[in-house]
Amino acid sequence: MIAAIEQLPPLAPEPGKTRSLRETEADYFRTNMSRMRYPVFRAQGIHLGSGIAEAACKTVVATRTKRSGMRWTPQGLDAILALRTAALNQEFDQSWQACREAV
């Protein structure tokens, strides 16, 4: 990818920029190369898309906090989401015990 980018015709940097888009993009891929080993990650069963995170947000947040008539203060929402996450992660009892010991 980097070689292909560097073979593109040179362009002058945009006004106010010191480097061309070609240089910026080649550097991005060079810097992040270790994070872009997608075949290796797929072979390890690691999910690459955002779908799982989005589904988790829907499960944890939307189904509990966006029901009819519900209103939350920022502090109340933070508290209920922490409880919901602990429950879904099967860590509620452990979290509850830690809160009781802290009091």
Q: What does pTM read for this prediction?
A: 0.49
Per-residue model confidence (pLDDT) at position 71 = 85
Are the CB atoms for 32 and 2 separated by under 8 Å? Answer: no
Place of tokens 């452990």: 94
- The type of residue at 81 is L
Per-residue model confidence (pLDDT) at position 87 = 87
Give the residue-averaged pLDDT of 8-18.
Answer: 91
Per-residue model confidence (pLDDT) at position 57 = 81
Instruction: Report the 10 Å Cβ neighbour count for 64.
Output: 17
Give the residue-averaged pLDDT of 4-9.
Answer: 93
Number of H helices, E strands in the chain: 7, 0
64 vs 70, which has greater pLDDT? Answer: 70
Q: What percent of the chain has pLDDT over 70?
A: 100
